[in-house]
Amino acid sequence: VDSVALGAAAERNAQLTKPPQALGQLEGLAIWYAGWRGTAQPTITAPQVVIFAGNHGVAARGVSAFPPEVTVQMVANFNAGGAAVNQLARTFGAKLDVVALELERPTDDFTQTAAMTEADLCAALSAGWDAVDPDADLLVTGEMGIGNTTSAAAIAAALFGGGAEAWTGRGTGVDDAALRAKTEIVNEGLARHPQANGDGLEALRCFGGREVAAMAGAILRARHLRIPVILDGFICCAAASALEKAQPGALDHTVAGHLSAETAHRRLLDELGKIPLLSLDMRLGEGSGGTLAIGVLKGAVNCLSGMATFAEAGVSGS
């Protein structure tokens, strides 16, 4: 982060025509963005949303309310402009890219073996790395993959402990019996891959999926490009957690876009020390919550950069 720009933005913020702190969380948010972009008066003109899609071997175990073929069907829906995230990206002027990751070749069932080989993991991380537009000034990473809340629960449990019960939720909406079975499957996976405990990359490799690893690669690339990132829900945050475990501070260029209705998301945000911008009971994935939060960030940044100072406006201070 550019500490000169950060300081200049904070100084500018203090002079704007409003009582101190009257814009609440918007103020720190805009200053954070300014620091990463290296200017005290930034603008957001080129936000990018990237949706990664992958299929999960564990989906064959019936962990989702939807059949696995929905992944490829939803990719077609993204490309045709019919999904929620398409409408939200359009609403906030974001470019939407869709990256389908070998959908015909699901990851392996993590209760039997690692979801991915090391080569698979590298390919997925690279796909994420390559998907980031260097000219973007904001990134949201989203995902589509039937079965991927199961994958994310296993990753979170491996990285933060607490067992499957603490991290397994209803995803797209499984019933009580299916939730118990899903939890047991996560526990089976944790028992199968003890070497993943506390190890970000190994957790991604063992539990997958490709789209989860790709989100991690994209978030890391954004850090190198100084592109701020808005995190989406539980699965995105599980991917991000792998980076944070590998290198504490790796998520300083990110904010939490929203608190989702997936029950373990709050716990995951607490582990990451992130306060969500929105809390609207969304639980769709596909980057939808993060994309909705682009509006909040744009508003914050436009206030910092566009407002008059007390001196410019001839307004009396307190």
Q: Is 177 in the site for a second copy (CB under 8 A)?
A: no
Strand partners, 128: none
CB of 167 to a second copy, least distance (A): 19
Q: Which residue, among 55, 62, 263, has the nearest Cα to 182 in the 3D structure?
A: 62
Answer for which of 11, 45, 60, 91 binds a second copy (CB under 8 A) is: 91
Q: Which of residues 278-317 bind a second copy (CB under 8 A)?
A: 278-284, 288, 292, 295-296, 298-299, 302-303, 305-308, 312-317
Nearer residue to a second copy within complex by CB, 65 or 246: 65
Cβ atoms of 37 and 5 within 8 Å: the answer is yes
Of residues 4 and 22, the one with the C-beta less far from a second copy: 22
H or E, element range at 8:
helix 3-14
Site for a second copy in 262-281 (CB under 8 A): 277-281
Q: Which of 60, 67, 112, 311 binds a second copy (CB under 8 A)?
A: 67
User: 184 phi and psi, to 5 degrees?
Assistant: -65, -40
Of the ranges 76-84, 151-159, 194-202, 247-255, which one interacts with a second copy (CB under 8 A)?
76-84
Spot the catalytic one: 143, 262, 271, 286.
Answer: 286
**Least Cβ distance, residue 289 to a second copy (angstroms):** 9
DSSP state letter for 196: G
How far is it, in rounded angstroms, from Cα 279 to Cα 89?
Answer: 19
Among this protein's residues, is 286 annotated catalytic?
yes
Tokens of 9: 């933005």
The interface region with a second copy, picked from 6-14, 52-60, 73-81, 265-273 by CB under 8 A, is 73-81
Supply 29's token pair. 């948010």
**Residue range at the interface with a second copy (CB under 8 A); choices 62-70, 115-123, 133-141, 189-197:** 62-70
* Sheet bearing 254-256, strands edge to edge: 95-100, 47-53, 138-144, 229-231, 254-256
Single-letter residue type at 243: L
| Catalytic residue positions, numbered | 286
